[in-house]
Homo-oligomer: A and B are copies of this chain.
């Protein structure tokens, strides 16, 4: 099994390369890819070893074929269906980002409990009441959910999500979810990062 860190970088490389194809760059050296991806050249080379891709010492890596290898490894052929629960600012932000980028992600349905946020179409995506979560997720075989509800609803909604068969949750609520260990959880605390950076700027140099 590959580590989360390497996985993260591989996804980042893919994205960097995708941007390059528009500029018609055909070849790239490890130090260049490193620069635009926020990694070190050695990291790039080691990461590409992991997916079994080899470059040439003269021309570095071929953008097109490397991209293909990355797409293969990251299964970028099949669309990944995603449910988004909580149609607030964060939810909408993610929705718009995903719509505006080349990803294999597809937000299939939105959920909320506020009357004025359900049974609507937002950016091409239909919103349902949370009560329909189970039905819609099972029908569409959705395995990934993004949780952008208020803190005090997060735990119970998360439980509802995994009852539908969802086994990966991206959690934006600033609270630790208590779920079975086989569920993949990624916590994205928006405030904690700011506090962290604030501390670091005060205590660096």
Q: What is A's interface to B at a CB cutoff of 8 Å?
A: 1-2, 4, 7-8, 11-12, 15-16, 35-38, 74-75, 80, 82, 88-90, 92-94, 96-98, 101, 103-105, 143-144, 146, 167-170, 174, 176, 178, 182, 184, 186-188, 190-205
Contact = CB atoms under 8 A, between A and B. Distances in A.
Given A93-B190, A191-B97, A8 B196 contact: yes
A192 B12 contact: yes
B93 A199 contact: no
A203 B191 CA distance: 30
How many copies of the polypeptide does the oligomer hold?
Answer: 2
6 contacts: A8-B196, A38-B187, A80-B195, A170-B193, A184-B201, A186-B193
**Residue of A190, A197, A202 ringed by the most chain B CB atoms within 10 A:** A197
Contacts of A36: 176
Given A103-B195, A168-B200, 19 more contacts: A4-B196, A7-B196, A8-B192, A11-B195, A15-B192, A16-B176, A35-B176, A38-B176, A80-B195, A89-B89, A89-B96, A105-B194, A144-B201, A167-B201, A168-B198, A182-B205, A184-B197, A186-B193, A186-B197
